[in-house]
Amino acid sequence: MNNKLEKLVQNLFKERVIKSEIVKQVLLSVDRKQFVDESDKINAYEDYPLQIGFNATISAPHMHAYSLELLKDNLQNGVRALDIGSGSGYLCAAMFLMMKQQQSKVIGVEHVPELVEKSIKNLSLSYNKQLQDKQIQIIKGDGRLGFEQEGPYQAIHVGAAAETIPQKLLEQLDKGGRMVIPVGKGNQVFQVIDKDQNGKINIQNVLGVRYVPLTDLNKQLYN
């Protein structure tokens, strides 16, 4: 057992950020060190975000835990999950391990080509079979548009802050599905968006947050 990873996860469990056994086991199973840059491996088990290049970050472990807890039921019961701004690939691995159905699939959408390559390399260390079987896929694209071909999705995680909720993501959210997304330009709020069986949308504001913006590639790289 990795003692530093175990200590990090146990602390999140004690602080009640991790509330369920499945999220605890998943975070113990996905080694954050495999998903950070070489220069940051010494900090891999610290509870704060780390730069992964191209003005992108891997989120703090407490936010990954928080998101997985919010999406837990949808991931366990669903067959399709979408991770927008998939960056390092870390959360794609974690979301996949949460899913119980044989035909489960996680799609990560990332618009920086170098991060697409880097995340596939990261994932191949422990999840090469899932990549080959296309159970985990990393797609180069604009996250604001989602990935319609594999929808609808029972669970959607957005890892960057949108100024407003992207309509395409709402459309690709399945009935009974849940999306978690940071929203706002200055003061950001983490929102939980549920779509009921009639297609009605319910939005809850649950937490003040600070994320990199969900924007186009040029603005991310050069702004």
**What is the amino acid identity at position 23?**
V
Distance from C-alpha of 146 to C-alpha of 82, rounded to nearest angstrom: 8
Distance from C-alpha of 37 to C-alpha of 33, rounded to nearest angstrom: 8
Pull the structure tokens for residue 103.
């035909």
Catalytic residue among 59, 67, 86, 119: 59
Q: Give the residue from 4, 11, 5, 66 showing the smallest Cα distance to 30.
A: 5
Side by side, the strands of the sheet bearing 80-84 are: 136-140, 105-110, 80-84, 153-158, 173-183, 188-195, 201-209
126 is catalytic: no
Contact 119, 152 (CB under 8 A): no
Q: Give the residue from 217, 97, 210, 198 showing the smallest Cα distance to 155.
A: 97
Cα angle 103, 105, 108 (rounded to 5 degrees) comes to 175
Annotated active-site positions, please?
Answer: 59
